[in-house]
Amino acid sequence: MKLYATIIFQVILLLSSGIAPAHASDKDSVSAADYYIEGVREYCAGNYAEAGKMLSESVRINPENDAAWYYLAMIRLGENDTDTAFEYLGKAASLSPGNQWYRLTTARLYSGIGESDRAIDAYSALIEDYPDKSSYYYELTDLLMRNNRLDEALEILDRIDRMRGYSEITGNARYEILMAQSKYDEALTQALKMNEYSPSPRTALILGDLYKTRYDDSTALHYYQEAVSMEPDYTPAYFGMAEIYRVKRDFINFFKNIDPFLADPQISPLMKTSYMEEIIFPSGMVQIFRPQVDTMVVSTLNAHPADTSVLTMAGMYFIAIDSTDRGMDILHRNMELHPDIESVRMTYMGQLYYMQDWDALIPVAEETLSLFPDHFTLRELIAIAYWQKGDTRSAIDMYRQILKAAPDDHPVLLNCYGSLGDLYHETGDRRKSYSCYEKGLKIDDNYSPILNNYAYYLSEEGRQLKKALEMSRKTVLNEPENPTYLDTYGWLLYLTGDYKEARKYLEKAKIYGGDSSAVILDHYAETLFALKEYNLAFLYWGNADRLDPDMGLSAKIQERREQIKKQ
């Protein structure tokens, strides 16, 4: 850099003496160096626009100032104008060919914007000109590794070792490359060499992991123990030992070694929650070692008391083992700590929904909706909560809000029309009910929930039975093992006089779970009665009456018996 030392000295002198350089308005008396000094001062203060003006004026007067071109390049880089930044860096480098910093900045810039080949060429040229500069080798090695040019990276590491001698840094890098190349035997040899030349807990851990993958548990344990002997708080080694003991079903030693790992706040909480959810909970360990697993969960929670993944894991765990109040408290705390995270709120609300705690769910859901107003599924959740609570009018109002807010092609509309149809039917407004069903079927004329309910309500009225039968037929084609749909279709066949076909579908409904429904058994008994299979009919009526005495089937049974006597 030709002017760098002199100009920086001038900057220091001016700043330390409190004398500001002349301003650009005094054009006759201001030199290129003055503009440069003022530009550097503005740049250091973060006033990049003003710095750009000063530095541009400096190179207009003296285009030989390589340092000014460099700072202009940095300003353009901050504006994401990389093309101009490269142009100015090129000018700086051409004016001061011996300045390594300009060339290194260019190489790093190429790397930063993804021009990896150019970056590699730039680093290679620097190494060619400055073969003793080891930092260039390290940066090039990292770049080659990130671009999967692993053999070239190994060659660079060899050059570093020849120049500087073997080191832990190059040894670790070589090990990572060999592992990435699936050269496991060579990687093991490299790890053993690392342990010989520069033993460390990390190297011992690597060896423990390598031997564990080879099912050489005794050697793996030796190296894990070596790691903790060097550093007693080196918790990754405790995890390695714990996993060996878990697989060997030596649970005393497993719990002894897993707790330090889980209690370490420096270990990734996501790693711990994944381990608990994917390995521990599905293993059946909870049923056998409940107190110890409780301790594992609590240790993780104490290490990360505010982490969302840990709070979610712990809350769901305690709910699963019937400590519902404790689990819900943890999930609620998670929501209080992270009120703006949608998934945290949805997890808590999901549990309230499962528990059918509508009074607690509705205010939380409405608060959440105020944070995420475009969340139509959340609006539907509120509507369902009102519906289940028995507040039909509020449920209808919420579904109507969804219809107004949702785009025309939003999938929520279909279910919205279906639910509104059901709700209006509950209020006795069949005209609005059937209008909603028709609008839903215009979106999807094969949507089974609407088809079934629409058909069934028409069957109750005993009108448009042919239309109802065709709609119901589609549902059993869509879901041939759905007892509700089979029942509706069978009952419509009965109402249209096709008793034999009705019996066939009602039998299927009974087989696929309908034998626990008093309504389905009643329909089946009616069909059997029409076919004059009286004994079977009364048998199923009796079963239906026992399932739901409030249906009043006793009176029907007596009436049918009297009917037979009169025949």
Token pair listed for 35: 């503009």
pLDDT band at 419 (very low <50, low <70, confident <90, very high): very high
pLDDT of 25 above 70? no
Model pLDDT for residues 100-126, shown as the tens digit of each residue: 898 889 889 888 888 888 988 888 888
Please state the pTM of the whole predicted model: 0.70
What residues have CB less than 8 Å from 551, skipping those under 6 apart? 518, 519, 522, 544, 545
How far is Cα 333 from Cα 350, in angstroms, rounded to an integer? 15
Q: Which pLDDT value is given to residue 35?
A: 92
Out of 58-72, 79-93, 164-178, 484-498, pick the least confident: 164-178
Does domain 339-437 fall into CATH 1.25.40.10?
A: yes
CA distance 113 to 106: 11
Those residues with Cβ within 8 angstroms of residue 244's Cβ, 6 or more apart along the chain or in another chain = 212, 217, 220, 221, 224
User: Residue 24 and residue 42: Cα distance in Å, rounded?
Assistant: 13
Reply yes or no on whether the pLDDT at 420 is more than 60.
yes
Instruction: State which amino acid sits at residue 175.
Output: Y
Residue 218, H or E segment: helix 217-230
The whole-angstrom separation of Cα 440 and Cα 420 is: 10
Q: Which residue has the tokens 């859901």?
A: 365
Average the pLDDT over 333-343 and give the result: 95
Q: DSSP state, 550? A: G
